[in-house]
Amino acid sequence: MRRPSKRQIDHDYPHQVQIAVPSGGFGERLNEMHRWATQRTIGDYHVVSSGRYPGETVRWCFRSEDVANGFRGAFGGPT
């Protein structure tokens, strides 16, 4: 299965939240983020990771602006 291109992700999931990987990693918090997103989007979201190391980012991509804003409110990220 091919991975979608950045252009396709940006088109399909235009509302995005970037979160920096904390120094100790996300740990259980990453599972919480996936649970939160799955419960509110019925699994219709996309995650793009530029790495798993401190200082790198994870981009959470949603179809809905309201869901992206809710995610940002729950887990942080620039506004």
CA-only gyration radius of the chain, Å: 12
Region label for 63, one of left (φ > 0), alpha (ψ between -120 and 50) or beta (otherwise): alpha
Contact 58, 19 (CB under 8 A): yes
pTM of the predicted model as reported, rounded to 2 decimal places: 0.84
Residue labelled with tokens 């959470």: 60
Measured CA to CA, the distance from residue 26 to residue 18 in angstroms comes to 14
Give the pLDDT confidence score for residue 18 in this predicted structure. Answer: 92
Which stretches in the chain have pLDDT values below 50? none
